[in-house]
Amino acid sequence: MESDQRFGNRFPIDKTREKTIGNSAQKVVLLEQNGDLDAVVRRAMTDCGLLDNLSDSSRVSLKPNLTYPYHKRGVTTSPAVVEATVRILRDYTKNIAIVECDGGYGAWKVETAFEGHGLFQIGRKYGIEVASLHDGPRESISFHGRGQDHEMPLPVRLLHETDLFITMPVPKIHCMTGLTLAHKNQWGCIPDDMRMRRHYVFNDAIVAINRALNPRVLADGTYFLDNNGPMDGDPVRMNLIIAATDAGSFDHYVAELMGWSWRRVPHLRRAVELGSMPSRLEEIDFNVAPSSVRTRVFKLKRTLRNYLALSAFVSRFITWFGYEFWFGRVVLHKILYAIVGENVPPQPEDADLSAK
């Protein structure tokens, strides 16, 4: 083992694995941010093949994680990483769009999140589109889950009008699913404020969505989120950029980096069962062993509020009763808030939108 200058001499790389990285269908490239963010993002995208076959007519969609209406470290994709990615892609094509849906349960309009992350400004600066996935035509995909056939609406833009779809997750602990990595980020592609209605078939649905959209991955690993999530938790500075050819390889690799077995994450177990994620780390080519980057074992510490929400996450009836039936929406929520406290309205974390 030796270290690579690109990683600031911090992470040992396996030269025997790196030699084959250009030949494998499933790859993960991890780089340390070293002060030149554009160079690091470009190298990660190049080494992982994300820039291969791009032309001036290629249509690219970027899906950041905007789980909060303002940039929040360890929670949402940093504007700095989004902008660096746009700058690099502009060398190849002008047909770039940053896309996202409204917050779940109508928590906020996506335009608020775009503004809160400075994405409209990035769009004007580089002459690219910043678009709500709630707008435009939809097409349903079919999948089987919990003994029944289901349909899920997805934007036609992503299904048929995008040549390269790049998902840009932030690696986090998640109070419902255990981890939220690349697969989970596509839940925000469903143009439905009440997508929580489908939580009870989440494991099958999220695999079907990723199969339909076929995302490449460019993750903002400036911060990870520990102890809780996706909005509450403790940001952990990791200073990484991680690219992958597919969501399954990314999720297996990063789960290992975080000290989690993918077997603890129900939707990742389902992804393996359906052939959408490799079951063994040895099936993935990577330049840095995830164990060598691990600085801690990330943990999930659920609160009382989390446990109450989890009961709805796995139950279609409880979701309907708690969020759509008048008694649940009005009376039950008042009782719950008296026990666990009111929700705190979103607030900007920093006046400066750049990742620090």
- Taking only the tens of pLDDT, the chain with its 356 residues reads 444 544 444 666 554 444 333 345 899 999 999 889 999 999 999 999 999 999 999 999 999 999 999 999 999 999 999 999 999 999 999 999 999 999 866 778 999 999 999 999 999 999 999 999 998 999 999 999 989 999 999 999 999 999 999 999 999 999 999 999 999 999 999 998 888 888 999 999 999 999 999 999 999 999 999 999 999 999 999 999 999 999 999 999 999 999 999 999 999 999 999 999 999 999 999 999 999 999 999 999 999 989 988 988 888 787 767 767 666 666 666 776 677 666 667 778 754 444 33
62 in Cβ contact with 96 (< 8 Å): yes
pLDDT of residue 351: 40
251 in Cβ contact with 174 (< 8 Å): no
For 67, counting Cβ atoms within 10 Å of its Cβ (0-12 exposed, 13-18 middle, 19+ buried), the class is: buried
Mean pLDDT, the chain, whole residue set: 89
Q: Can you give the pTM of this predicted structure?
A: 0.89
The rounded distance, in Å, linking the Cα atoms of 136 and 156 is: 8
Structure tokens at 20: 């084959």
The rounded distance, in Å, linking the Cα atoms of 212 and 246 is: 12
The neighbour count for residue 101, using CB atoms within 10 Å, is 23
In one-letter notation, the amino acid at residue 262 is W
Its sign, for the CA torsion 216, 244, 51, 95, is positive
Q: What's the pLDDT tens digit per position in 245-271? A: 999 999 999 999 999 999 999 999 999
Q: Find the helix packing angle between 202-213 and 266-273, rounded to 10°.
A: 60
Its sign, for the CA torsion 133, 139, 144, 146, is positive
Q: How many Å is the Cα radius of gyration of the chain?
A: 20
CA-based nearest residue to 293, from 28, 77, 12: 12
Residue with tokens 């390889």: 249
218 in Cβ contact with 77 (< 8 Å): no
Q: What's the pLDDT tens digit per position in 135-174? A: 899 999 999 998 999 999 999 999 999 999 999 999 999 9
CA distances from 29 to 21, 44, 161, 223 (A): 9, 6, 27, 17
Domain boundaries, the chain: 2-301
Q: Decide yes or no: CATH 3.30.70 for domain 2-301.
A: no
The rounded distance, in Å, linking the Cα atoms of 130 and 114 is: 8
302 in Cβ contact with 310 (< 8 Å): yes
The rounded distance, in Å, linking the Cα atoms of 296 and 304 is: 25
